[in-house]
Amino acid sequence: MKGIGTVNQIENPFWTLVGKEGVERNPLKYYCAPNQATPDYVTSYSVRDFIAYGFVCCWDAVCPAYFAMWNMVQQDDVQWLRHYFLEVLEAAVLAYYEGKLENGENFDWGDWSQSLNIGNSDEGDEEEIRYTWALDRVDNENLAMVLAIANCVGTGPAGDDEVIWLAKEALEDRAKVKAAFEEAYAANKFHGKIAEQWAEVSSSAVTE
């Protein structure tokens, strides 16, 4: 997404016509200091910061400054996109704790992705764009999530894919990670809560 920048930029007056109470661009108050960089450039060592930045990515993906079809956005589309981001990331984190997250890339998106379509060509819309949050790659030190944007119908512009990086080191404190997910689900002000598997994740060391 061109020009996504940092959260220090001027806030966009998104949803001027169809605002939804409680939905904002930066609900988790992500902040990037001038001498630092966002997770699309430098790996994040904080799960909370990583999620907070992912929430901003969801907003900026469909805001009028970058997305020509913003007038087709439904009031809960950003909440859905954030919900899908949380679900995919949470599934990857839990799989890592269970020793089931293998290193690799080009994962089967059917297993490691969630998608949101804006526009409906079946109902006569001339444009339809799919936003997909997916696990992009995993290596010995990091995992990466991608917000992939594709034109299903029409010519766009849809925007550029956004890849953001999280250090596995950030997953060491499981109680802190769980709390970050709980806070994020609450901040999204949508349906959904942390997965039941958290109760089954032991405090033993991760098996890789």
Distance CA 131, CA 115 (A): 5
Distance CA 141, CA 11 (A): 34
Q: Is the pLDDT of residue 89 over 80?
A: yes
Q: Is the pLDDT of residue 9 over 50?
A: no
> At 165, is the pLDDT very low, low, confident or very high (cuts 50, 70, 90)?
very high
Q: Report the half-sphere exposure of 204 (CA within 13 A, side-chain side).
A: 7
Phi, psi of 136 (to 5 degrees): -95, -45
> By CB neighbour count within 10 A (0-12 exposed, 13-18 middle, 19+ buried), where does 87 fall?
middle
> At 50, is the pLDDT very low, low, confident or very high (cuts 50, 70, 90)?
very high
Angle in degrees, CA 30, 179, 58, rounded to 5: 40
> At 128, is the pLDDT very low, low, confident or very high (cuts 50, 70, 90)?
confident
Other C-beta atoms lying within 10 Å of the C-beta of residue 4: 21
pLDDT for residue 10 = 34
pLDDT for residue 127 = 72
Model confidence over 185-207: pLDDT tens digits? Answer: 999 989 889 998 898 885 554 54
> At 123, is the pLDDT very low, low, confident or very high (cuts 50, 70, 90)?
low
> At 135, is the pLDDT very low, low, confident or very high (cuts 50, 70, 90)?
very high
pLDDT for residue 14 = 47
| DSSP, residue by residue, 76-129 | THHHHHHHHHHHHHHHHHHHHHTT---SEES--TTTSEEEEEES-GGGT-S-EE
- Note if the bond before 157 is cis, omega within 30 degrees: yes
For the entire predicted model, the pTM comes to: 0.84
6 vs 27, residue with greater confidence? 27
Average pLDDT over residues 149-156: 73
